[in-house]
Structure 1
């Protein structure tokens, strides 16, 4: 039977065409009806005809044609035969060149498990139990909150007999582990449906569907719900920068380059062999903004980490001279992408001010995490890729040579407050022959672990929120691979177990100490004491809260213990040792300061008092002034 037309009203059409519609998922796509059947709507302005083919009609293209809605490019209709879970696609015959193709639904809520490529009729009904989290998450996601993020890839974190764990089982195992380790948030590498598992989710074909590899949409909702009930925030890696060229996907959707640029100098990404969204097309901006809002609204996601922002901002990204088209002013900036990102961030913070957006932006583009009314891009935070590269390059040096690379650990403080930075040690640094974090550290096995503990201590003391990729917390030796699971068996071995205990304690100290997070994005929360002792590879600085005692962070990046190291401090009295990465319980040598040191009235580093410390080898110490001692 022919489909009955359903309305995509004038207001929807206006905002869709303006590029500001943020809830297209309520109108477009497949929507199961309470009385049975489903209504459909798809954008295909250059189609001569569109029909829905699926399990209920034997994939017969003549059975259920859709009807065009005026000149909006929207085709709509309904079919009473549709049942939940049935597979379907849109059969599109283009006005151009007689092109015909079966396309998955761009707004599908659920998809067949790859390698199958059809969409599934599905509803998003779910009884949430995270009311307490949702009512109180604003201060947990705030700029002055502690944020220690555990980045993970769901398919390779844990498995059973080589098989994926489902969302529901992962929820419990992961929540237990995150609570034990003390992280505040998890960040999921993309879960949006993707045909090629080896893309890790970064080649997305369904922007409104969690991958079916691990279960249903309700299973994924349960995953988030359970983590929220355990007090854990959930961030989602989201990819509005490019999409794969698979025939069932967005590319050449209605026989024209609808979502992507037609000219490959603008529309094809040479590095990733994928298509680039046409941000100048208003309907495409509405599609992407709706996707971002969808995960926040329907899945209670706490924030979006926006992937590959630099590739969006620069027209010449990854291209040689002559392989790109300048903007209308002759420059390399993608003006349409800038407008899209600003609109996205304004929309997110207007509709969900208790969430956050985080940019993975690898250049010195200004004001990424500044409001749009200050000519910023409007993100809440930005990954500090420079810090990641500089610190890892420094730590890779043999300690005897680190004196010549001292600036690698201090340079980040020159620009630390120019953006709201997240300090990442991400998946990007443990793939493609780069080795594991532990493997980057020089020296014998003991020194490698000591180096990594010292780095983590320095990182958690440094201004900025923290992010660590899975496996780094217990020092996995093998480079990460998406095939298989982490090397959990090594976590019980000496060295690995100590590092894991150190990370858990480091997170506990961090979360309990406002000096380490309240003023992450203000120079008022940081003060160097020793920035220039390259000869001994020692770094010392203060972290300060809005109110209360300051905190002293000291790192010795050589394997030489340094007794009687004099450090100027702003206050007399007792300085308690809150954390020592060289403690024997963490696998260290056990050097230290017997729980703390009394400041003497001896001038040093321009201050009236000083501490005479023992700096353990390859270590970071955290000491807090005890105003009650």
Structure 2
């Protein structure tokens, strides 16, 4: 069959070109790439690619035996730099690449389509002619109500996971689960554990499995490792129908160096910054986008929009925001050039991030935009109209570092590091925070969470249970990486399954049970989440008892009788007759104890209701007397 070329056809209007060049086109995926089309009585595929410095561009694929010259595209007569053409008779499912000859030094590249919706399974790298339309979504109820689930005053408990190493089929060559298999097994696990959201590490196509998805080549292409696009849609659809939100990691901070990808696309630094001080990432060995180039802004914003639009993603966690914000990130003196104001801020990246958040929230007001931002950059989660970056949430890396550091000390030394436990409350309400115990904390010789804890096995587990209970009560949304909820001993290995066999051991099984119970308590106790980002939701009872390694505080909702009282004892001694001040007369009961025997704890605590006495304590009229379990956290409520 001959596949004739047609050039008198375009999917791009003058407005599309104008918006693209202005950096304001947010849905380029509707226009660029390979799209099925009916033209002059024949079916075929329309191709469009941006390559302004190319001398020629042709499509080579299955349909022409990958010939380099038989199907050339035509450069538009405007100054957009877009090459396009319609090839009749070509069908979906075939593979292709763009054969690009540059004007400069006659550089020749075969490139994957930056706008491909699907790609060959790595290590192959051709793009696939594919449609992401036609999936029959069944999540209308979820989509209409998800604003409640993603809200600041909602409980958010996120399970972070890497699809390729969550659960492997060892008996079938250690293969990973498909998207459709995950729709069964992951769903069951999220239900068992009472999470509210799942966060997938990047699913955009990437060549090197060892990059975990963070070295991207296909910004519109769901990785083929686990199935086809509709299979991923099915997984998300099933999760939505069962009440779980889906967050996806997305990487606009850098991209892969693989030559079939974006790098040196038309023989020039097209997507990346030409200046190596701005365009190459020394820490990750990858290329950095040119955030000042309008067409690149349109490309990236369209990528994020695509996942929200076509895949019904509920939130995007933007990776490595700090690396974008600072010109001197991971660079020594002399390796970076100050901005026009003499500072180290990347003004172009700042403008891009603001535009990104404005665009996405403008289209989908009910999503979550989450920044992994590790510095004290101000107003990350404040509106762009008042100078903020416009994100919805920010990972609280300070809380994470301080808490893990504090917990790593032997209890006998903790009194000298008490400030690391309390410091986070000085800034807890400056941003809309999420508390992350993420994959980054259990790789690269950092050790697993359980092995960061001091002591013997009993003490390690008690410490870990106490840390989780403290985390769940601390202001901020929650995120825990897979393996943490079964106290996996080994660091995360992306090539192996989580060590599920550990659940044969009561210590691990009952810690998992505790986290399931904690997630449920968190979801049921409004005081633990309603005012996460407001001072009115938190009140210290006593933050200064460093001699006993203890802190106590209240979490509050709009209704006083919903207040939860939290007392943490990070000493390895039981404290009998421990008094705390309370605001109201009445009886108080334990609703949670991390040292309960049902969690393989030491069963020390308060089994009976505690009656307050009229005795001023901690500036309050009444007090109660408690038994504090060693290395334990208790939650109390007034009945």
Q: TM-score range by the shorter chain?
A: over 0.9
Q: Secondary structure at the match of 1:473?
A: helix
Evaluate the alpha carbon distance shift between residue 180 and residue 314 of structure 1 in structure 2; reply closer, same or farther with a 3 A threshold: same
Equivalent residues of 1:109, 1:209 under 8 A apart: yes
What is the CA distance between 1:95 and its match in structure 2?
0.8
Q: Give me the whole-angstrom Cα distance separating, in 1, the residues matched to 2:401 and 2:55.
A: 52
Q: Give me the whole-angstrom Cα distance separating, in 1, the residues matched to 2:88 and 2:587.
A: 76
Give 2:113's aligned residue. 105
What is the CA distance between 1:588 and its match in structure 2?
0.3
Residue 509 of structure 1: which of 513, 521, 527 is its match? Answer: 521
Q: Give me the whole-angstrom Cα distance separating, in 2, the residues matched to 1:15 and 1:578.
A: 56
Unpaired runs of 5+ residues, structure 2, are none
Q: Give me the whole-angstrom Cα distance separating, in 1, the residues matched to 2:595 and 2:221.
A: 46
Residue 434 of structure 1: which of 426, 446, 450 is its match? Answer: 446
Q: Give me the whole-angstrom Cα distance separating, in 1, the residues matched to 2:214 and 2:137.
A: 28
Q: For each residue in 1:567-598, what CA deviation from the matched residue of structure 2 results, as whole angstroms up to 9, or x when unmatched?
A: 00111111121111010000101111115322
Aligned residues: 626
Q: Give me the whole-angstrom Cα distance separating, in 2, the residues matched to 1:41 and 1:625.
A: 65
Q: Give me the whole-angstrom Cα distance separating, in 2, the residues matched to 1:2 and 1:32.
A: 14
Residue 236 of structure 1: which of 248, 251, 268 is its match? Answer: 248
Matches within 5 A, 1:502-541: 502-541=514-553
Equivalent residues of 2:280, 2:288 under 8 A apart: yes
Matches within 5 A, 1:229-628: 229-549=241-561, 550-626=563-639
Give 2:142's aligned residue. 133
What is the CA distance between 1:340 and its match in structure 2?
0.4
Equivalent residues of 2:179, 2:226 under 8 A apart: yes
Equivalent residues of 2:216, 2:256 under 8 A apart: yes
Q: Secondary structure at the match of 1:41?
A: strand
Q: Give me the whole-angstrom Cα distance separating, in 2, the residues matched to 1:500 and 1:377.
A: 37
Equivalent residues of 2:120, 2:126 under 8 A apart: yes
Q: Give me the whole-angstrom Cα distance separating, in 2, the residues matched to 1:152 and 1:36.
A: 41
Equivalent residues of 2:5, 2:88 under 8 A apart: no
Q: For each residue in 1:11-52, what CA deviation from the matched residue of structure 2 results, as whole angstroms up to 9, or x when unmatched?
A: 111111111110000000111236632111100111111111
Equivalent residues of 1:419, 1:521 under 8 A apart: yes
What is the CA distance between 1:7 and its match in structure 2?
3.9
Q: Give me the whole-angstrom Cα distance separating, in 1, the residues matched to 2:226 and 2:409.
A: 41
Give 1:19's aligned residue. 23
The TM-score normalised by the length of structure 1 is: 0.99
Residue 31 of structure 1: which of 8, 31, 35 is its match? Answer: 35
Q: Secondary structure at the match of 1:33?
A: strand
Q: Give me the whole-angstrom Cα distance separating, in 1, the residues matched to 2:14 and 2:382.
A: 35
Q: Give me the whole-angstrom Cα distance separating, in 1, the residues matched to 2:418 and 2:124.
A: 53
Give 1:96's aligned residue. 104
Give 2:66's aligned residue. 59
Equivalent residues of 1:25, 1:294 under 8 A apart: yes
Q: For each residue in 1:161-202, what CA deviation from the matched residue of structure 2 results, as whole angstroms up to 9, or x when unmatched?
A: 210110000111001100110100001010110000000000
What is the CA distance between 1:81 and its match in structure 2?
2.7
Equivalent residues of 1:8, 1:27 under 8 A apart: yes
Equivalent residues of 1:3, 1:65 under 8 A apart: no
What is the CA distance between 1:131 and its match in structure 2?
0.8
Q: Give me the whole-angstrom Cα distance separating, in 2, the residues matched to 1:203 and 1:598.
A: 58
Matches within 5 A, 1:212-223: 212-223=224-235
Q: CA RMSD in A?
A: 0.9
Equivalent residues of 1:56, 1:81 under 8 A apart: no
Q: Secondary structure at the match of 2:543?
A: strand
Equivalent residues of 1:7, 1:76 under 8 A apart: no
Equivalent residues of 2:586, 2:612 under 8 A apart: yes
Matches within 5 A, 1:31-180: 31-33=35-37, 36-69=43-76, 70-124=78-132, 125-161=134-170, 162-180=174-192
Q: For each residue in 1:191-229, what CA deviation from the matched residue of structure 2 results, as whole angstroms up to 9, or x when unmatched?
A: 110000000000000000111000000110001001111
Which is worse superposed, 182-191 or 1-10? 1-10
Q: Secondary structure at the match of 2:637?
A: strand
Q: Give me the whole-angstrom Cα distance separating, in 2, the residues matched to 1:220 and 1:55.
A: 25
Unpaired runs of 5+ residues, structure 1, are none
Q: Give me the whole-angstrom Cα distance separating, in 2, the residues matched to 1:193 and 1:7.
A: 25
Q: Give me the whole-angstrom Cα distance separating, in 1, the residues matched to 2:210 and 2:499.
A: 19
Evaluate the alpha carbon distance shift between residue 450 and residue 76 of structure 1 in structure 2; reply closer, same or farther with a 3 A threshold: same
Q: Give me the whole-angstrom Cα distance separating, in 1, the residues matched to 2:181 and 2:250.
A: 23
Equivalent residues of 1:130, 1:225 under 8 A apart: yes
Q: For each residue in 1:599-624, what CA deviation from the matched residue of structure 2 results, as whole angstroms up to 9, or x when unmatched?
A: 22121111111110110111110111
Q: Give me the whole-angstrom Cα distance separating, in 1, the residues matched to 2:23 and 2:638.
A: 54
Equivalent residues of 1:569, 1:607 under 8 A apart: yes
Give 1:2's aligned residue. 5
Q: Secondary structure at the match of 2:485?
A: coil
Q: For each residue in 1:394-417, what CA deviation from the matched residue of structure 2 results, as whole angstroms up to 9, or x when unmatched?
A: 000000100000011100000000
Q: Give me the whole-angstrom Cα distance separating, in 1, the residues matched to 2:622 and 2:501.
A: 48
